[in-house]
Amino acid sequence: MVIGACAFVLVFILIAPSSRAFIAASLGSVGVWLYSWAPLSFVLLTILLAAPIISVYLVKTWPVQHEPENPMAKYRREDVDD
């Protein structure tokens, strides 16, 4: 549902020539920035792309925490049915 809504909005954004020109200029300036700051920008880009993958891996492999047993449970009085 979210993908369909995003695609719907994206179609209307890309219809207007001024928004297409803005997006193209933004992507062009990002490309220029990437190549002008080459070593640092590629490291930052790698960190940005690897962070979600690492976080998903950590969440999936995190040890399960078990609730401790209630220490007072052994002193609970049992109901005796007469």
pLDDT tens per residue across span 61-80 = 999 888 888 888 778 777 66
Asked, for residue 77, whether it belongs to a domain, the answer is no
Domain assignment present for residue 16? The answer is no
CA distances from 82 to 14, 72, 75, 77 (A): 79, 25, 21, 15
The total of structural domains in the chain comes to 1
pLDDT 10s digits, 14-58: 888 998 899 899 999 999 999 999 999 999 999 999 999 999 999
Residues 32, 34: Cα–Cα separation, whole Å: 5
Please check whether residue 68 lies inside any domain of the structure: no
Residue with tokens 């928004």: 19
Where do we find the tokens 């997006």? 23
pTM, rounded to two decimals: 0.54
Q: Does 7 fall in a domain? A: no
Task: Give the structural domain span for 48.
Answer: 26-60
* Contacting residues for 23 by C-beta, under 8 A, at least 6 apart: 13, 14
Residue 74 lies in a domain: no
Count of beta carbons in the 10 Å neighbourhood of residue 34: 14
